[in-house]
Amino acid sequence: MPEGDTIHHAARRIRPLLAGRVPDEIRTPQPRHSLDRWPQRLAGRAVTSVDAYGKHLFLRWEGGLTLHSHLRLTGAWGVYRAGARWGRSPRRAWLVICAAGHDVVQFDGPLLELLTDSRTRFDQRLAALGPDILAPAFDDARFLRRLREDDPTRPIGDALLDQRTVAGIGNIWKCEGCFLARIDPWRPTGAVSDEEALAIMRALRPRMEQSAEHGHRAVKREIYERAGRPCPRCGTPIRQRGQGDANRPTFWCPGCQR
């Protein structure tokens, strides 16, 4: 599943191609959007900004229009030189924007919408989200306030996935963050101190920032998908078990995570 670093990485690749430009062409091949007339409604308008917040990406256009995308489990953004082969089948493209000699492509949706009354509706939605893990200055106080509003019996690993508490962390970074801060992802949130919770954020931010800048392959995973292999810190075999309502595969070291 694309996490916040992947979305910020996409925004950083898309921004120099679209921001300040009127695209040469916009297509919406997905039949679901065939009646929306986005190409006509966006024709002749420049993109004013490309923003990521948590796992959300926003393309803002002149005239107060905003395209909002969330990839959920299946979607992806691709950026290709015009004429180059795309990473997924063209049949899976939902949105194609051609500009500056490149194709910016959103594949497989599944959430893509054009907001017209942008500011208000969107600010309300963003306000419901916790602070962005990749914000230039992370809002510690807001994160802790949201975390303490949550059920104190909920395991910390599961609580970290709640986008109302902190935006942008998915299952991989949840596992990595708990490992790096030496916290058992099964420990009830009420038994995790503020300092420990912030230690998870401090461990994740530079790694996710590096991934946002250079792509997720640029950052080594310590524990994710390494069940049965020795912990890189203490050598105890790494364990795996499903966590939360969605039963997300959770990796941890019972030897050094408490």
- Toward Zn ion, which CB reaches closer, 87 or 235? 235
Catalytic residue, candidates 16, 39, 55, 136: 55
Residues 166/177, Cβ–Cβ less than 8 Å? no
Q: Is 176 a catalytic residue?
A: no
- When the beta carbons of 88 and 229 are compared against Zn ion, the nearer one is 229
First to last CA, the chain: 27
Pairing between β-strand 248-252 and β-strand 93-99 as defined by DSSP bridges:
unpaired
**DSSP strand E in the chain: where?**
25-27, 47-53, 56-61, 65-70, 76-81, 93-99, 102-107, 111-115, 239-243, 248-252
* Unique residue bearing structure tokens 């299952």: 171
Give, as one character, the DSSP assignment of residue 91.
Answer: G
CB of 97 to Zn ion, least distance (A): 46
What is the closest distance, in whole angstroms, from the C-beta atom of residue 232 to Zn ion in the complex?
A: 8
Smaller CB separation from Zn ion, 156 or 231:
231
Burial class (CB within 10 angstroms; exposed 0-12, middle 13-18, buried 19+) of 181: buried
Residues that bind Zn ion (CB under 5 A): 231, 233-234, 236, 253, 255-256
Tokens describing residue 177: 């963050």
Known catalytic residue at 55: yes
Smallest distance from the beta carbon of 230 to Zn ion, in angstroms? Answer: 8
Pick the closer one to Zn ion by CB: 233 or 239.
233
Active site residue 3: yes
Closest CB to Zn ion among residues 67, 253: 253
* Cβ–Cβ < 8 Å for 53, 129: yes
As measured in angstroms, the least distance from the Cβ of 111 to Zn ion is: 38
3-state helix, strand, coil in the chain (%, to 5): 35, 25, 40
Question: What is the rounded CA–CA span in Å between residue 100 and residue 87?
Answer: 19
Tell me the closest approach of the beta carbon of residue 170 to Zn ion, in angstroms. 22
Give the residue numbers marked as catalytic. 2-3, 55
